[in-house]
């Protein structure tokens, strides 16, 4: 749903952590498949992993440290209407998710991004509202309650639509097999953002969720 790029690297930290992702001045570690703010001054770092360029080369997503992103988001409704292919492995999804997070953080006022919005056919999306979250092959398994929300999208700058979204959802993903619950009570923006990005992965744009105001006001057929 969008800041200037710094180099992003992924590496293994000590045994208390899983993958660690860091940007200039910003550090996150992945523990139990969640990303957290991280101060690594007390950790020793080993096994540096290079970002897999084969994932991003054709889509132009790999950029050397210090190079400007200049990202152009896919805005073709026909292209965005095609559901994404499943991401093959969790590791591939984490690498792609880390790159998407870098793009997201380097885009002003953005809170969510799906892989197909940058030309990558993989069911991976990221959000950054309460905290950075990567979702690999996510699915909504439970939902209830509804509320209206005005949405925007990086793929359609300047466009806003009123939608009706679930106020409580449970999302499972390959990297979150126990599920994560999102709700308006915790954060309405985060809850809507997750639904918006999962829609993207399923080939659904916000325009297909738009509320017909005339019908809403009882003036339509």
- The catalytic residue among 107, 151, 190, 197 is 197
Residue ranges with strand state E in the chain = 9-12, 19-23, 26-31, 34-37, 46-49, 112-114, 124-128, 132-136, 139-151, 161-173, 176-183
**What sign does the dihedral 200-134-85-177 (CA atoms) show?**
negative
How far is 24 from 52, CA to CA, in rounded Å? 20
- From the number of C-beta atoms within 10 Å of its C-beta (0-12, 13-18, 19+), residue 84 rates as buried
Would residue 208 show up in a list of annotated catalytic residues for this protein?
no
How far is 117 from 121, CA to CA, in rounded Å? 9
Residues labelled catalytic: 197
């Amino acid at each position: 749903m969008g800041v200037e790029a710094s180099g992003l690297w992924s590496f293994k930290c000590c045994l208390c952590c899983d993958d660690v992702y860091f940007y200039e001045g910003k550090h996150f570690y992945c523990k139990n498949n969640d990303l957290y703010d991280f101060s690594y001054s007390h950790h020793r770092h080993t096994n540096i992993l290079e970002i897999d360029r084969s994932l991003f080369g054709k889509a132009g997503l790999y950029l050397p440290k210090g190079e400007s992103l200049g990202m152009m988001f896919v805005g073709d409704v026909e292209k965005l209407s095609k559901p994404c292919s499943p991401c093959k492995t969790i590791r591939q999804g984490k690498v792609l998710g880390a790159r998407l997070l870098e793009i997201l953080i380097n885009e002003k006022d953005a809170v969510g991004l799906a892989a197909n919005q940058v030309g990558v056919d993989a069911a991976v999306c990221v959000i950054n509202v309460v905290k950075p979250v990567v979702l690999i092959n996510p699915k909504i398994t439970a939902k209830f309650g509804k509320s209206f929300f005005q949405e925007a999208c990086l793929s359609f700058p300047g466009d806003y639509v009123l939608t009706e979204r679930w106020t409580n959802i449970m999302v499972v993903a390959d990297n979150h097999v126990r599920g994560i619950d999102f709700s308006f009570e915790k954060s309405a923006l985060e809850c809507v953002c997750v639904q918006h990005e999962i829609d993207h992965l399923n080939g659904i744009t916000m325009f297909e969720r738009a509320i017909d105001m005339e019908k809403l006001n009882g003036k339509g057929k």
